[in-house]
Chain A
Amino acid sequence: GDSVTQMEGPVTLSEEAFLTINCTYTATGYPSLFWYVQYPGEGLQLLLKATKADDKGSNKGFEATYRKETTSFHLEKGSVQVSDSAVYFCALSRNFNKFYFGSGTKLNVKP
């Protein structure tokens, strides 16, 4: 069945460091891929998405490229800030009826 695997956390970085959070998926067909973020005390919110192979989603300095050949959708940011501290979830959906989420990666950014 469909599933998402993402790197375990927590990931601890200093401010202005480069961030990569790995995400790989298993799905039949051509799913859409998403990154959701959950800030402390808040609900999950969409960070970025890509709906077809080779698409790059971007938002707030974060980027992820849909790589069908490696079934991956890694999240990157060139320079993290303390305010980026949150839990990040990779997700997929084939038909937007059901979304499959990874287990989440907690990011701690220290000043």
Chain B
Amino acid sequence: DTGVSQDPRHKITKRGQNVTFRCDPISEHNRLYWYRQTLGQGPEFLTYFQNEAQLEKSRLLSDRFSAERPKGSFSTLEIQRTEQGDSAMYLCASSLDPGQGNEKLFFGSGTQLSVL
């Protein structure tokens, strides 16, 4: 169990550029979540996948944001035409299907995005 890994750890970009983040969940976990966290706030839900299917997406997620999990393993989160307000920590988490005590999220260390 190598845990949830995210890449890169830090990303600095200029406004208007596109960025892509990667998340590798724990291998047997079929659920994968993306959250966003700003300074002094708790994680805020963006979207989640059950295997390769994206089942729910926050209304906060504008059409500049897109997430994929093509083979039900790793996931990517892309932000197009970045804005300064996108600066945040982007967190990935994974879990087993809920039930039988599996209601536990395993978080990665996050990708810190700074938009200049």
Tell me if A99 counts as interface (CB < 8 A to partner B): yes
Given the known inter-chain contacts A43-B4, A44-B91, A97-B56, please indicate yes or no for A103 contacting B103, CB distance below 8 A.
no
Q: Per a CB cutoff under 8 Å, which of A41, A97, A103 touches B41? A: A103
| Contact A101–B55 (Cβ < 8 Å) | no
Q: 8 Å CB contacts to A: which residues of B21-54?
A: 33, 35, 40-45, 48
Select B42's contact among A45, A49, A102, beta carbons within 8 Å: A102
Q: Is A69 an interface residue (CB 8 A)?
A: no
Q: Report yes or no: A44 in contact with B104, Cβ–Cβ below 8 A.
A: no
Looking at the complex, which one of B43, B44, B103 makes contact with A96 (CB distance below 8 Å)? Answer: B103
Q: Is the beta-carbon distance between B43 and A51 smaller than 8 angstroms?
A: no
| B61 beta carbon closer than 8 Å to chain A | no
- A46 & B105 in contact (Cβ 8 Å cutoff): yes
Complex CA distance for A101 and B103, rounded to whole angstroms:
15
Chain B residue numbers with a CB within 8 Å of A34 are 103
Cβ-defined contact, A49 with B104, below 8 A: yes
**Assembly CA distance A104 to B98 (angstroms):** 24
Contact (Cβ within 8 A) B109 A89: no
Query: When chains A and B are docked, how far (Å) is the Cα of A93 from the Cα of B33?
Result: 13
Q: Is the CB of A89 within 8 A of B42?
A: yes
> Which chain B positions have C-beta within 8 A of A86?
none
- Contacts of A96 on B, CB cut-off 8 Å? 95, 98, 103
Given contacts A43-B4, A44-B43, A104-B42, contact A99 B105 (CB under 8 A): yes
Q: CB distance A49 to B103 under 8 Å?
A: yes
Name the distance in Å between A36's Cβ and chain B's nearest Cβ: 8
- In the complex, chain A residues whose CB is within 8 Å of the CB of B93: 44
Q: List the 5 closest pairs (A to B, CB-CB), nearest first.
A: A101-B42, A96-B98, A43-B107, A44-B107, A43-B109
Question: A43-B107, A100-B45 known; 14 other A-B pairs, CB under 8 Å?
Answer: A4-B42, A41-B109, A43-B3, A43-B4, A43-B109, A44-B91, A45-B107, A49-B103, A51-B103, A96-B103, A102-B42, A103-B41, A104-B40, A104-B41
